[in-house]
């Protein structure tokens, strides 16, 4: 059974911020990176544990995907739902989630 992906407002804002930052240099790059992030997130529907456990937290249910230089942090809330918590550049500290 596939899990449902739910985006938090923070994660949605983060993704828009990624796009805006990259588009200042290249619209093509901004589109490519954000599309790759979204496509990788869609894979979580079938493979929710494909990401690694977030090292700073060490909680089994909070994981991350590393895509380009971005960390997509998500929570496996139950067998049917995955919550996208944040999309952060890897050079930025991971704020409290």
38-76 pLDDT per residue, tens:
999 999 999 999 999 999 999 999 999 999 999 999 999
71, two tokens: 């960390």
Res 97 pLDDT > 70? no
Whole-model pTM over 0.85 = yes
Per-domain residue ranges of the chain: 4-89
Q: From the centroid of its chain, how far is CA 61?
A: 14
pLDDT of residue 2: 77
Res 95 pLDDT > 80? no
Residue 18 phi/psi, 5° resolution?
A: -60, -50
Q: What is the CA radius of gyration of the chain?
A: 13
Task: Choose which CATH entry (2.40.50.140, 3.30.2310.20, 3.30.1370.60, 1.10.3720.10) describes domain 4-89.
Answer: 3.30.2310.20
The SS3 call for residue 60 is coil
pLDDT of residue 1: 60
């Amino acid at each position: 059974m596939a899990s449902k992906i739910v985006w938090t407002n923070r994660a949605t804002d983060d993704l828009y911020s990624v796009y805006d930052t990259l588009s200042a240099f290249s619209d093509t790059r901004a589109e490519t990176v954000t599309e790759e992030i979204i496509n990788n997130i869609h894979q979580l529907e079938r493979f929710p544990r494909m990401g690694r456990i977030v090292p700073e937290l060490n909680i089994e249910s909070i994981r991350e995907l590393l895509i380009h230089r971005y960390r997509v942090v998500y929570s496996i809330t139950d067998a049917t739902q995955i919550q996208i918590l944040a999309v952060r550049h890897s050079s930025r500290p991971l704020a409290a989630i």
